[in-house]
């Protein structure tokens, strides 16, 4: 999702008989549905896995500003411009809460940003796809925020208290984003022939990348088991993907748009849609840095950070001057 392919810091689930007394008590608390709080004891691997997951989630919110920012200056009406500005502002705010949640685990925002800029941490693959028409802004709200909601609603039950609370707060805003995105799609899908073409084109390009947001299929997800045992993850990639497809297809039908998957069909037995998996080799390419926008997105972020250095230093220097007692100067 916004956190895909999080490598659990250990291999496989530790069997109970190999656990220390502390680890057993920790696992019992998780099994009893208790929340783990920053000051509580936790296994090093639990902490490391969470830092990776929350950090990647935070980075996704921040990098996610770029594809949408690409259309703020070209939004077609003042109302749409205002709504998009508000959305992007929300996403930056989500980045802030998530960095704060990560900081409770003993890693600073600046360290995480440093790791991102060095390419040692990732952000969601979806933000490496370009936004080419105004319909893409609708499709992102509807599909990307829609997929994020499916994942984040599940994560409200995650075992780490600060992460779970950040998810609860964020989900309220995400559902507003998804509704706004769908409202753009309705205007486009029921608009002029050109608008309709833009809407279909957006779905054609973004459908599979949206499915990739949930991460690789369960059979290839080696790190899921320990994360599930720790309730860092509360549903598998495939479960969440299925849920997303089930809720999205009727909305697509209402819009009169065609799903680019020719084999998509309702399966009465499983009470869900059968659908074609995304091209996972493309997914791994994007993760490795070969998506259409990886290089530009990172260059943008690094440039903004470097060009902002004098601002951060200036404000810090001023704050120090104000804090220092006059006598010490």
Partner 1 sequence: MTREEALFQFLLRMGDNTLVLGQRVSEWCGHAPVLEEDIALANTALDLIGQTQMWLNLAGEVEGKGRDADKLAFLRDVWDFRNLLLVELPNGDFGRTMMRQFLFDAWQSVLLGRLTNSAEPRVAEIAEKAGKEVAYHVERSSGTVVGLGDGTEESHARMQAALDYLWPYVGEMFASDAVDEEMARAGIAPDPAGLREEYDALVGRVLGEATLSIPEGGFFHKGGKDGARHTEHLGHMLTEMQWLQRAYPGASW
DSSP 134: H
| Segment 120 to 139, residues that bind partner 1, using CB under 8 A | 134
Please select the residue that binds partner 1; options are 1, 30, 36, 66, rule is CB under 8 A: 66
Q: In 3-state terms, what secondary structure has residue 266?
A: strand
Please select the residue that binds Fe ion; options are 8, 62, 91, 155, rule is CB under 5 A: 91
> Counting contacts by CB under 5 A, is residue 177 touching Fe ion?
yes
CA-CA distance, 234 to 228, in Å (whole number)? 6
How many C-beta atoms surround the C-beta of residue 129 within 10 A? 22
Instruction: Give me 150's structure tokens.
Output: 């499916």
Which region among 25-33, 82-90, 238-246, 264-272 touches partner 1 (by CB under 8 A)? 82-90
- DSSP structure string for 146-194: HHHHHHHHHHTT-SBHHHHHHHHHHHHHHHHHHHHHHHHHHHHHTS-HH
> Counting contacts by CB under 5 A, is residue 94 touching Fe ion?
yes
Report yes or no: 178 and 244 within 8 Å, Cβ to Cβ. Answer: no
Nearest Cα to Cα of residue 230 among 59, 20, 44: 44
Rg of the chain (C-alpha set): 21
Choice between 44 and 329, CB closer to partner 1: 329
Which region among 37-45, 86-94, 169-177, 237-245 touches partner 1 (by CB under 8 A)? 86-94
Residue 80 touches which of partner 1, Fe ion, none (CB < 5 to 8 A by kind)?
A: partner 1
End-to-end, the C-alpha distance of the chain in Å comes to: 50
3-state helix vs strand vs coil in the chain, percent to 5: 70, 0, 30
What phi and psi, each to the nearest 5 degrees, are found at residue 160?
-85, 115
Which region among 90-98, 153-161, 226-234, 273-281 touches partner 1 (by CB under 8 A)? 90-98
CA-CA distance, 246 to 28, in Å (whole number)? 34
> Counting contacts by CB under 8 A, is residue 220 touching partner 1?
no
Choice between 263 and 307, CB closer to partner 1: 307
Nearest Cα to Cα of residue 150 among 251, 50, 222, 12: 251
Q: What x-and-dash track marks residues 292-321 binding partner 1 by CB under 8 A?
A: --------x--xxx-xxxxxxxxxxxxx-x
What phi and psi, each to the nearest 5 degrees, are found at residue 7?
-75, 120
> Counting contacts by CB under 8 A, is residue 73 touching partner 1?
yes
> Counting contacts by CB under 8 A, is residue 88 touching partner 1?
yes
- Residue count at the site for partner 1 (CB under 8 A)? 52
Choice between 46 and 123, CB closer to partner 1: 123
**Strand (E) or helix (H) holding 297:** helix 294-307
> Counting contacts by CB under 8 A, is residue 329 touching partner 1?
no
Which region among 61-69, 119-127, 188-196, 271-279 touches Fe ion (by CB under 5 A)? 61-69
Q: What x-and-dash track marks residues 159-198 binding partner 1 by CB under 8 A?
A: -------------------------x--x---xx-xx---
Contact set with partner 1 (CB under 8 A): 62-63, 65-66, 68-69, 72-82, 85-86, 88-89, 92-93, 95-96, 99, 109, 134, 184, 187, 191-192, 194-195, 300, 303-305, 307-319, 321
């Amino acid at each position: 999702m916004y956190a895909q392919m999080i490598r659990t810091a250990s291999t496989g689930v530790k069997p109970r008989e190999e656990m220390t007394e502390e680890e057993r008590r920790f696992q019992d608390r998780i099994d009893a549905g208790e929340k783990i709080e920053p000051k509580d004891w936790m296994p090093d691997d639990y902490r490391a896995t969470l830092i990776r997951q929350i950090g990647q989630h935070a980075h996704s919110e921040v990098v996610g500003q770029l594809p949408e920012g690409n259309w703020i200056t070209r939004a077609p009406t003042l109302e749409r411009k205002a709504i998009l500005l508000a959305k992007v502002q929300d996403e930056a705010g989500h980045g802030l809460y998530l960095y704060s949640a990560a900081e409770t685990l003993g890693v600073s925002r600046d360290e995480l940003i440093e790791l991102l800029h060095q390419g040692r941490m990732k952000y969601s693959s979806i933000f490496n796809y370009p936004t080419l028409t105004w319909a893409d802004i609708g499709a992102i709200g509807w599909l990307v925020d829609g997929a994020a909601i499916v994942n984040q609603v599940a994560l409200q039950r995650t075992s780490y208290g600060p992460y779970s609370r950040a998810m609860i707060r964020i989900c309220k805003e995400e559902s507003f984003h998804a509704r706004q995105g769908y409202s753009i799609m309705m205007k486009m899908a029921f608009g002029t022939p050109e608008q309709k073409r833009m809407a279909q084109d957006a779905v054609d390009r973004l459908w599979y990348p949206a499915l990739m947001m949930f991460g690789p299929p369960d059979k290839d997800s080696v790190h899921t088991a320990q994360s599930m045992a720790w309730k860092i993850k509360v549903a598998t990639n495939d479960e969440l993907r299925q849920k997303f497809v089930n809720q999205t297809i009727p909305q697509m039908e209402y819009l009169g748009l065609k799903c680019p998957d020719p084999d998509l069909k309702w399966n009465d037995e499983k009470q869900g849609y059968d659908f074609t998996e995304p091209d996972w080799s493309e997914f791994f390419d994007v993760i490795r840095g070969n998506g259409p926008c990886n290089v530009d997105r990172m260059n943008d972020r690094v440039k903004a950070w470097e060009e902002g250095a004098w601002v951060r230093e200036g404000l810090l220097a001023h704050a120090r001057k104000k804090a220092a007692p006059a006598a010490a100067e």
